[in-house]
Structure 1
């Protein structure tokens, strides 16, 4: 074999190795792109959950009834009621809540 053929063989085998390396890198790049897309999807989902918690926090902070005393709340709820209507409200309050909510028999107090 002459020098030219040896160099051509070396050149060809080097080219084959380089093409294999390029192919391997292309496969790795595709796998990384898939992983990146999956990671971005998870991050978008996480950001959606964070926004839900953040909007809940904001709406709770803006709710004017938070921290309001029960007496003030009762006064607001009964502001447009007549004295007769207020007199008809249950006097036992939460003690008989099962009766008022579920219709179970009243308990003896």
Structure 2
């Protein structure tokens, strides 16, 4: 996996782990509160042969900046920047909450 740094709101840097086929459909993996993108490593490696995988460290988590201010709107900004890095008409987003219930 390679690490990307994307701009977030208010100059916050967002760390994103990327792997897989750059021409494949993108999948975005979002961790739960207090976790990191690294929690998705095994899942990302399993998806990589068929997808372009982005595991995001949300604001204040993992390798992303800790701005001291958090809100739903600022978190949405992160999503917009990830989408800009992987332009596609359809992006599958997987959250740890969803995965736990699927297993």
TM-score w.r.t. the length of structure 2 is: 0.24
Q: Using CA pairs below 8 Å that are at least 6 residues apart, which structure has the higher relative contact order?
A: 2
Structure (1 or 2) with the greater strand fraction: 2
Q: Highest Rg: 1 or 2?
A: 1
